[in-house]
Structure 1
C-alpha cells in the first residue's frame, strides 16, 4: 500500500512568520527563510519560494525553500540547507516527503528540472546520486551559553595561547559599521578572499556576491576584521537567526597566520554573538567522507569545541530517471578524463626522463 502524499502549499512572509513563531524550538536555517529568498532574487536567481508540507490531518511536517538552477547540461531545483522538519524525521516520513516533492516539481510550469536536490537523512528511493555534493555533512557547533571565562577555558590550549599571542602581536579587531560594509569589503577584504581561495584551492564567488549578501541580509549579519598597523589581516561574516549564529564566510592573509589573527578574531566574534543573545554558533563544514578537502579548516575549528554535529547528506531526487542516469554518466566521464590525461602525461614524462638518462626501462 502506497503512503499518502503530503499537501504542499506556498508560504508568504506572514504565513512563514506564523509557523516560525509557533515553533520557537525548531532550528530554522537562515537559508530557509523569506530573507534568503530576497537574497537569491537580488542575485538574479530564480527563487521558487518556501513551501509547507502538511499531512492528511493538516499537521505541519516540514518546510523547504527552493531555487531553480540552470547549468549547461541540466536544470535542477535546490533546497539550500533544507528541508526543515517539524514532525519526526523517520525514514518513512522522509520517503513520503521525497515522493511529494517529486510530484510537485515533475510537472512544474515554466521549468524542466532534471532533479531536486535536498538533504536526506536516510538514503532510499527515490533519492539518488548526487551528481555533485552541495552541502557539508559535519560541523563544529560552539555552545555560547557558558560565561565568557568558562567559554574561553573550554577551548583547547592551542586556541587560548594563540589568542594571547595575537594580542601580543598587536592584532586588534574592529566591527565595521554597516554603512561601510560594501566599500570596505570591495577595497580591503575581497583581495584577502582571493588570496585565501588561491592558497586553499577553492573557487570563491566574485565580489558582487558578498556585497549583495551584505546589502540584502544586513539585519542578520556582522562583519568583523582583524587589523595590525591598519592593515587588514583576517575577516569574517557571521549570520544570526532566532538565537543561532553561523561563522559563514572568512578570509585570511599569510600574515594573519603568522600573527594568529584568526584566533583572536573568532574569539571576539563569539563574545559579540553571545552578548547579542545567541546561544550557539555553527562553524560550518569540517572534514568528512565526501569533503576530505576540509581537513585544514577542521584542525582550526576543533580548537574551539569538541561538539561535532552530523548534517544530513545532500542527495538528488531524479525527476527524469533515464535522463538523470545518462547525464550522471556523462559528468563522471568528464571528471575522470583530466585524471586519465594526467596519468598518461606522467607516464610519457617518465619514459622521456629515463631515455635521457640512458635507462631503457619505463619508470613507474
Structure 2
C-alpha cells in the first residue's frame, strides 16, 4: 500500500466517483472553518492506494488531515477518517498506518503523532492522549415522514416524544439565520451546560465561525424557547445524506419539561423533509470501549432501536520516544 498527496478537490471528486459519503470533516468547507481556529492548519489530503485488477492502482481510502499545534508540539488529526471504499481488515488498517507513518515522517518531521479512526486495536496505535474516543453512535432514520420517524423509536422514545408534544411549553424552530447574526444568547446556555456537565466550551467565536463559514447549506441551528427565552438548542451539520448533531445545550431549570425531546423530534422531522438527508447522527454513546460516555445512552438510544459501530480515534505515534514522554507526563498530571 502507498500513500500519496492529493488536493481537497481531488479528494471530493474521487469520493463522488466511488460513491463514498464523506463526513463533513473531510470536505473543503470544513477545512476553511478549521483554518480559523487558533493552532489549527489544513495539512493536506492523502489517498491510500493499493493494487487493483491487472496491477492498476486502486483507491482504498481517503483522508484530510489538519496540523494541530498545542503545548509546543505538533500532531495531525483526521476526523472520521480514513474513509474506506470497502470495510478494511485489521491487516489492511495496519498496512495503511505503516504507509501513512512513513509518508508523514518523510514530508513533515515535526509531527509527533497522527490521530485517526482505526477500528482494529493495532500494536502500532495507542489510546488517545486527549479527548474521549467512542466506538458506537446512534443514527436516526429520518425518512418516510414524521409518523414513520416516531414509529421507529423505542417505546420509551415514543412515549417521551408524545408527552413532550402534548405537554412541553417549548416552541421549536430553525434559528440558523438568527444565530448567525449573534450567538450570545445560545452561548449562555452552553456555559450553563458546561458548568453542569463539567466541561469548558470553546470560545463563542468558534461557534459563530462554524455557522458562518459552513453556511446554512451545511450547518443549521435549531432552538427551543419558552416565553421567548432560549432553553435548548442544537448545532447540526449536513453533508450529503448525513446530518450530525454536533453540539447541543440546555438550561437546568427546564430539563424536566422534555424540551430537548421535543427539539430533537422537531429536528428529525425538519431534516427528513429535506429529501437528501436520510440519517441523523446523534454522535457518540458509551460502551465498554468508552465507559465515560455511558451517561449519554439513556437519552440518545431511545430515539432508535439500532446502535451503529464506528472506528474510534486512536493515536499513531511518529516520534515514539517523545510520544512516550507525553504519555508519562499526562499520567503524572492525572494523579494530582
TM-score by length of 2: 0.91
| Cα 1:246/1:201, change in 2 over 3 Å | same
Q: Quote the offset at 1:330 in angstroms.
A: 2.0
Q: Which runs of 5+ in 1 are unaligned?
A: 339-364
Aligned positions of 1:1-364 closer than 5 A: 5-13=1-9, 15-24=10-19, 26-44=20-38, 45-56=40-51, 57-72=56-71, 74-109=73-108, 112-133=110-131, 135-167=133-165, 168-178=167-177, 180-186=178-184, 188-218=185-215, 219-277=217-275, 278-336=277-335, 338=336
Q: Quote the offset at 1:81 in angstroms.
A: 1.6
Provide Cα deviations, 1:86-130, integer angstroms capped at 9, x if missing partner. Answer: 144112211121111101111334x61111111111122322233
Q: Quote the offset at 1:246 in angstroms.
A: 1.0
SS in 1 for 2:179: helix
Preserved contact between residue 182 and residue 208 of structure 2 (Cα < 8 Å) = no
Q: Quote the offset at 1:6 in angstroms.
A: 0.7
RCO (CA 8 Å, sep 6+): is it higher in 1 or 2?
2
Q: Which runs of 5+ in 2 are unaligned?
A: none
User: In 1, Cα distance between the equivalents of 2:71 and 2:174?
Assistant: 41
TM-score by length of 1: 0.85
User: In 1, Cα distance between the equivalents of 2:234 and 2:254?
Assistant: 13
Preserved contact between residue 143 and residue 279 of structure 1 (Cα < 8 Å) = yes
Q: Quote the offset at 1:54 in angstroms.
A: 1.5
Preserved contact between residue 11 and residue 52 of structure 1 (Cα < 8 Å) = no
Preserved contact between residue 287 and residue 298 of structure 1 (Cα < 8 Å) = yes
Query: Could you tell which deviates more after superposition, 320-329 or 112-121?
Result: 320-329
Query: Could you tell which deviates more after superposition, 298-307 or 141-150?
Result: 141-150
| Cα 1:238/1:335, change in 2 over 3 Å | same
Q: Quote the offset at 1:51 in angstroms.
A: 1.7
Q: Please, what is the CA RMSD of the aligned residues?
A: 1.9
| Cα 1:129/1:169, change in 2 over 3 Å | closer
User: In 1, Cα distance between the equivalents of 2:123 and 2:157?
Assistant: 44
Provide Cα deviations, 1:11-62, integer angstroms capped at 9, x if missing partner. Answer: 242x2332122122x3321111121111111224211122222224311011
Determine which structure has more spread, i.e. the larger CA radius of gyration: 1
Q: Quote the offset at 1:198 in angstroms.
A: 0.9
| Cα 1:128/1:163, change in 2 over 3 Å | closer
User: In 1, Cα distance between the equivalents of 2:147 and 2:238?
Assistant: 23
Query: Could you tell which deviates more after superposition, 64-73 or 262-271?
Result: 64-73
Provide Cα deviations, 1:246-266, integer angstroms capped at 9, x if missing partner. Answer: 111110002331221101100
